[in-house]
Amino acid sequence: MNILITGGAGFIGSHVIRRLIKNYPDYNIYNLDALTYAGNLENLRDIEDASNYTFLKGDIVDESYINEIFKKYNFNGVIHLAAESHVDRSISDPLAFVKTNIFGTVNLLNAARNLWKDDFSNKRFYHVSTDEVYGSLGSEGLFLETTAYDPNSPYSASKASSDHFVRAYGETYGLPYVITNCSNNYGPNHFPEKLIPLFINNIIEGKPLPVYGDGKYTRDWLFVEDHARAIDLVFHKGRNHETYNIGGFNEWQNIDLVQLLCRQMDKKLDKPAGTSEKLITYVKDRPGHDLRYAIDASKIHKELGWKPSVTFEQGLERTIDWYLENEDWLNSVTSGLYQEYYKKMYN
Ligand code: NAD
Ligand code: DAU
């Protein structure tokens, strides 16, 4: 098997690569990543010398490069994670999301179709997507695989569009595909622009914790290694032309999550109880902020036996420990351009 993984130097992609390299020594794993601000080869230091691993630096938007590598390496499977992934950045620069998330995905679909069109057997295009395509829930209900798409941010609109293209290639050309839509991930190697790692970093630095709006927004959190295990399972055992929702059965209002994080950080940093909570600052809301996401993950559970294995308390503690033990990683990703982003976003 020659497997192309896109976005493997990012948060979730690096956990997927590590898992596949270890579990499938007979696969050749190719990691294609443009190394944007979110991509970091440090995330893969421990496996970079593995004999079944190759890193390819390139942009999924670059048509001739993508066609060239599909021919050269004769991929028979693709796990597509590369994306612009941060909602706040999509609000200030929507076109970047159109380019990578829509155009880049269609480029990959074309290359796969061209290479595989005479024989689709034993081929698979796996598109990793998000629960945000379903829009926002009220206080009741869960997202099912059949929930109508209703994206609200430029990020979720671009992911929804890419999902539609994947399905269209399946229907129109017979391309074998599978799509998963997952809830909010957290864990080691998460870029500190997202809620949990941003707040861990700010607590370490004694900076304000900017809670958007009234903090009552709800997300369903899943430990990243559980997502990587689900991706492995769906890639190998998921049914063709199917969608699977993946979630943590773990809903938290932002403010409750932040308070839990503050309590755990106080203990880890040996600070008096209540120290970190004093940093909480309510700030202007995110425009178009989705109230609530929650996944019904019973299809993947019933068909493939998957369920989360890490509780939120365990996962959060492992995450905090990782950030405290990897200060160099945190310092390197929060220097330079990050400072400019932070000022623009929060000052
Ligand atoms: P991330 O931002 O941490 O990583 C994205 C990676 O893609 C980076 O390594 C970056 O360098 C690379 N990349 C970006 N543009 C590229 C391009 N044009 N060409 C090649 N590589 C490019 O993202 P993540 O949080 O790991 O998310 C990975 C995927 O999972 C995304 O498709 C995202 O939509 C989806 N997803 C994320 C979450 C979450 O909570 N983080 C939840 C559900 C789904
Ligand atoms: O649901 C899956 C999605 O989860 C993924 O598709 C996205 O790639 C990923 O970024 C994530 O999107 P969110 O917008 O939910 O994640 P974020 O960490 O940016 O925000 C989580 C919640 O916290 C959200 O309600 C906004 C709020 N928030 C976020 C930041 C960065 C704050 O209150 N303050 C902040 O500074």
Structural domain includes residue 26: yes
Q: 8 near 40, Cβ under 8 Å?
A: no
Query: Which CATH number is 11's domain given?
Result: 3.40.50.720
Place of tokens 């060239």: 68
Q: Is 225 helix (H, G, I), strand (E, B) or coil?
A: helix
* Closest ligand, as measured to the CA of 137: 2
Range of the domain at 175: 2-190+221-249+291-310
Say what the pLDDT of residue 48 is. Answer: 97
- Torsion from C-alpha of 146, 100, 251, 255, nearest 10 degrees: -140
Residue tagged active-site, from 84, 131, 220, 226: 131
Residue 273: pLDDT band with limits 50, 70, 90: very high
CA-CA-CA-CA torsion sign (66, 67, 72, 76):
positive
Task: Give the count of domains, the chain.
Answer: 1
Question: Using CA positions, which residue lies closest to atom 16 of ligand 2?
Answer: 194
Tell which atom from ligand 1 comes closest to the C-alpha of 13: 26
Q: Which amino acid is at 306?
A: W
Q: How far apart are CA 316 and CA 209, in angstroms?
A: 17
β-partners of residue 56 are 32
Structural domain includes residue 173: yes
Structural domain includes residue 278: no
> The sheet that has 124-130: what strands, in order across it?
53-57, 28-33, 2-6, 77-80, 124-130, 177-182, 242-246
Average pLDDT of every residue of the chain: 98
Mean pLDDT, residues 275-287 taken together: 98
Say what the pLDDT of residue 347 is. Answer: 85
On the question of pLDDT at 336 being above 90, the answer is no
Tell which atom from ligand 2 comes closest to the C-alpha of 212: 33
Structural domain includes residue 38: yes
Cα–Cα nearest to 180, from 226, 229, 128: 128
pLDDT tens sequence across 57-113? 999 999 999 999 999 999 999 999 999 999 999 999 999 999 999 999 999 999 999
Structural domain includes residue 334: no
Structural domain includes residue 92: yes
pLDDT tens sequence across 15-66? 999 999 999 999 999 999 999 999 999 999 999 999 999 999 999 999 999 9
Structural domain includes residue 19: yes
Mean pLDDT, residues 333-342 taken together: 94
pLDDT tens sequence across 145-196? 999 999 999 999 999 999 999 999 999 999 999 999 999 999 999 999 999 9
- What is the percent of the chain with per-residue pLDDT over 70, rounded to a whole number? 100
How far, in Å, from the CA of 101 to the mean position of ligand 1?
9
Structural domain includes residue 267: no
